[in-house]
């Protein structure tokens, strides 16, 4: 009996090439597996295509709600943003995709998992770290690190030489990754950071800022313990909420970024990312945290957010540290409950008010009117003690004729 390999299959250029390549170079039966985390119509017709190209079996696993609940929500609650811009759209999907591939491989008795990530990219790291964490006995096949193909043009020629339909047009070879949370674009004019993105051609989820409506739209999001539960008073499933916010966010050109980022493998890369619904949720969640978290927790949580983002970006989801950080984050979210109103207008999100039963804001304390909880005279003693180290240091410098800088 032949050994089996499970291929992470998208039906795109890379994985269309990989099926015949595996058959030509390995004596394995190929099982094509598409893990649906919100690719939409991209999954249509993939079974027929995979089988015609040489796969013996095809899986389509829909896990949109699981993706949002178990991966997006923990990342959202952590406020994790990579290098100040990237909401981790591709990164956060890789753990669940790989976990499902491992489950299929174990069910089918497969010996290996194959992925189409390039030898220069982040995804090879993300896929393989997850496989090592969940099923270290499985072999990993990474064609981009083995074969003689060097470019997307080589891939297109490979398919044309074998009379296999090319799943894209030659003049539209952006490298794209789509899921429920975002859509990424790389390649073509984006490879030169000095070139402006061709937004009219490039954007798929969003209007350009110029084409966004001239009238603002308001949206209210309700959270319970850091998790969004209602939009405009309507309860929705996790995936439907993201889809709805993608729709209105994309309409108003929300969440379009152009970033030069540091890849895990040591080089910089440039991409344009569309994350309309995610950007709205991040903004609303942070506004509620400003209202509900104390100063020390909010400050320390920003440190955790950066580390959490690095772990997700690098494919280190199934690690003790990520799990421990999530436990800390969950503790901070116990009082992050309330409603946030936002105004969406031509690429901008504008705060429109927030309320929470756990709000730490006290109008009587914050107003200029003296209240019972605050005595202005107390400030003098506080300032004297708070400034004591500065005073002692200044006296030392005076004593030693040191210049104060």
Is 367 a known active-site residue?
A: no
Q: Which of 10, 14, 206, 356 is catalytic?
A: 14
| Positive or negative: CA dihedral 245, 248, 254, 258 | positive
- Look at 54-68, 147-161, 270-284, 339-353 and tell me which has the smallest mean pLDDT: 147-161
pLDDT at 171 over 60: no
Residue 112's closest CA among 146, 81, 79, 150? 146
pLDDT at 120 over 60: yes
pLDDT at 375 over 90: no
Residue 35's closest CA among 113, 111, 121, 98? 98
Question: For position 103, what pLDDT does the model report?
Answer: 98
Question: Per-residue pLDDT tens for 32-81?
Answer: 999 999 999 999 999 999 999 999 999 999 999 999 999 999 999 999 99
Alpha helix (H) ranges present in 175-333?
199-202, 238-251, 276-292, 295-313, 320-332
Question: Per-residue pLDDT tens for 253-285?
Answer: 999 999 999 999 999 999 999 999 999 999 999
pLDDT at 366 over 80: no
User: What is the DSSP pairing of strand 139-141 with strand 112-114?
Assistant: parallel
Q: Which of 29, 123, 177, 356 is catalytic?
A: 123
Q: Which of 29, 36, 126, 175 is catalytic?
A: 175
**Percentage of the chain surpassing pLDDT 70?**
98
Q: Which residue has the tokens 């956060």?
A: 92
pLDDT at 201 over 80: yes
Q: Which of 10, 36, 79, 94 is catalytic?
A: 94
Residue 100's closest CA among 137, 64, 54, 152? 64
Is 326 a known active-site residue?
A: no
Question: For position 281, what pLDDT does the model report?
Answer: 99
Is 65 a known active-site residue?
A: no
Angle at 381 between CA 379 and CA 383, to 5 degrees: 65
CA 309 to chain centroid: 9
Is 378 a known active-site residue?
A: no
pLDDT at 169 over 80: no
pLDDT band at 371 (very low <50, low <70, confident <90, very high): low
Q: Rounded to whole angstroms, what are the CA distances from 19 to 26, 98, 199, 254?
A: 10, 18, 33, 38
Whole-angstrom distance, CA of residue 284 vs CA of residue 272? 23
pTM (2 decimals)? 0.94
Domains of the chain: 3-63+87-172 (3.40.50.620), 177-355 (3.90.1260.10), 371-397 (no CATH)
Q: Are 60 and 43 in contact (CB under 8 A)?
A: yes
Helix (H, G, I), strand (E, B) or coil at 279: helix
pLDDT band at 172 (very low <50, low <70, confident <90, very high): low
């Amino acid at each position: 009996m032949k050994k089996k390999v499970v291929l992470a299959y998208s039906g795109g250029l890379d994985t269309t090439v990989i099926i015949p390549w595996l058959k030509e170079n390995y004596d394995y039966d190929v099982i094509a597996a598409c893990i649906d985390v919100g690719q939409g119509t991209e999954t249509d017709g993939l079974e027929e295509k995979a089988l015609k190209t040489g796969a013996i079996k095809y899986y389509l696993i829909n896990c949109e709600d699981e993706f949002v609940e178990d991966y997006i929500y923990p990342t959202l609650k952590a406020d994790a943003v990579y290098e100040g811009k990237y909401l981790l759209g591709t990164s956060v999907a890789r753990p669940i995709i790989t976990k499902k591939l491992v489950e299929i491989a174990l069910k089918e008795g497969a010996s290996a998992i194959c992925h189409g990530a390039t030898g220069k990219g982040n995804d090879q790291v993300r896929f393989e770290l997850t496989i090592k964490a969940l099923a270290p006995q499985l072999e990993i096949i990474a064609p981009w690190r083995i074969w003689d193909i060097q470019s997307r043009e080589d891939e297109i020629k490979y398919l044309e030489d074998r009379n296999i339909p090319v799943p894209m047009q030659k003049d539209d070879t952006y490298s794209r990754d789509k899921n429920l949370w975002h859509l990424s674009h790389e390649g073509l004019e984006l490879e030169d950071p000095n070139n402006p993105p061709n937004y009219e051609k490039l954007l798929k989820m969003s209007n350009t800022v110029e084409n966004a409506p001239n009238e603002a739209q308001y949206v209210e999001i309700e959270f319970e313990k850091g998790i969004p539960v209602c939009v405009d008073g309507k309860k929705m499933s996790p995936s439907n909420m993201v889809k709805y916010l993608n729709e209105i966010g994309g309409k108003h050109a929300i969440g379009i970024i152009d970033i030069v980022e540091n890849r895990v493998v040591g080089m910089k890369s440039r991409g344009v990312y569309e994350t309309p619904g995610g950007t709205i949720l991040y903004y609303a969640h942070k506004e509620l945290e400003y209202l509900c978290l104390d100063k020390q927790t909010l400050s320390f949580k920003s440190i955790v957010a950066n580390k959490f983002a690095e772990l997700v970006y690098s494919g280190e989801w199934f690690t003790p540290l990520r799990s421990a950080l999530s436990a800390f984050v969950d503790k901070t979210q116990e009082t992050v409950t309330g409603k946030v109103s936002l105004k969406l207008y031509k690429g901008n999100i504008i705060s429109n008010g927030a309320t929470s039963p756990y709000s730490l804001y006290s109008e009587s304390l914050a107003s200029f009117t003296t209240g019972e909880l605050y005595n202005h005279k107390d400030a003098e003693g506080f300032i004297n003690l708070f400034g004591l180290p500065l005073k002692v240091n200044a006296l030392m410098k005076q004593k030693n004729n040191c210049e104060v800088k």
